[in-house]
Structure 1
Amino acid sequence: MSATNGNAAPVILILEDEAMILLEMSFAIEDHGAEAIQAPSVRSALEAIEKARPDAAILDVNLGRNTTCEAVATRLGELNVPFVLHSGDLVRQGELIARIGAEVIPKPSSSDHVASRAIALARETRET
């Protein structure tokens, strides 16, 4: 079951370990009239997904301490939730990014641009 229904504001999960980026991204999503779910770790993201399926997500690829977004990407894929990867580590994470196979928005990019893309994915999915 989705976190939202029909015409309600889209719910966007943000997996980001850098607090300032997470906050900026949340504000950008809210500025677009959507709801942001903040997840600073893989564990918190997976817990949020199980509570209520988001409409789309923004995933930072490299979460520090040899942790990546792969488990969250896999779970979102199982639930058919669209997501974008937001990464500043494209060279070192190239193989993982290719394996995940999602749209990539490189860092730095404006929070507004990333939020807009995630919200567009959420709306596209609702229309199908």
Structure 2
Amino acid sequence: MNGTLLLVEDEALILMDLEFAAEDAGYDYCAVRSVQAALEALETRDIVAAVLDVNLGGGETCVPIAEALGGRGIPYILHSGDLDRNDELVRTLDAELIKKPARSETVVERAMTLAPE
């Protein structure tokens, strides 16, 4: 697989687990914790798929990232445990959701199955 998996997660330990899973699977990845960093990665990296936490803290959500990915035709999955507050938002994004907690290996592999060959 050529290209980079974008990992967007504000919780440091969860992000680290996702990074380890991507590294162990042999994928190139870019791990970020904010909307701004994710949008910058889209401009500078060859992103082929993404894992997006829905709520990024500080009032930020993944919506701007999801819209940018969608505009580029890049597939993504949502990875969230905060479904009570974000259920409507999750439905409007119309993307596959993997509920937290989930095995990081499962999350990474599912995202990469959506990446173009």
Name the TM-score class by shorter chain: over 0.9
**What amino acid sits opposite 2:20 in the alignment?**
F
Give the TM-score of the pair, scaled to structure 2: 0.95
Aligned to 1:82: 75
2:56 aligns to what? 63
Identity of aligned residues (%): 45
Partner of 2:8: 15
Q: Tell me which stretches of 4 or more aligned residues in structure 1 moved more than 4 Å.
A: none
Greater share of strand residues, 1 or 2? Answer: 2
Query: SS of the residue aligned with 1:74?
Result: helix
Gaps of 5+ in 2: none
Q: Residue 21 of structure 2 aligns with which residue? A: 28
Q: Gapped runs of 5+ residues in structure 1?
A: 1-6
Q: Distance in 2 between matches of 1:73 and 1:114?
A: 17
**Greater Cα radius of gyration, structure 1 or 2:** 1
Q: Determine the C-alpha separation between the residues in 2 that align with 1:38 and 1:51.
A: 13
Aligned residue in 1 for 2:86:
93
Contact 2:5 2:49 in 1 (8 A): yes
| TM-score (normalizing by structure 1) | 0.87
Give the number of aligned pairs. 117
Q: Which residue of 2 aligns with 1:116?
A: 109
Select the residue among 41, 44, 53 that pairs with 2:34: 41
When the two chains are superposed, the root-mean-square deviation of aligned CA atoms in Å is 1.0
Q: Which SS does the other structure have where 1:93 is aligned?
A: helix
The separation in 1 between residues aligned to 2:96 and 2:73, in whole angstroms, is: 15
Q: Which residue of 2 aligns with 1:3?
A: none
Letter in 2 for 1:39: V
SS in 2 for 1:14: strand
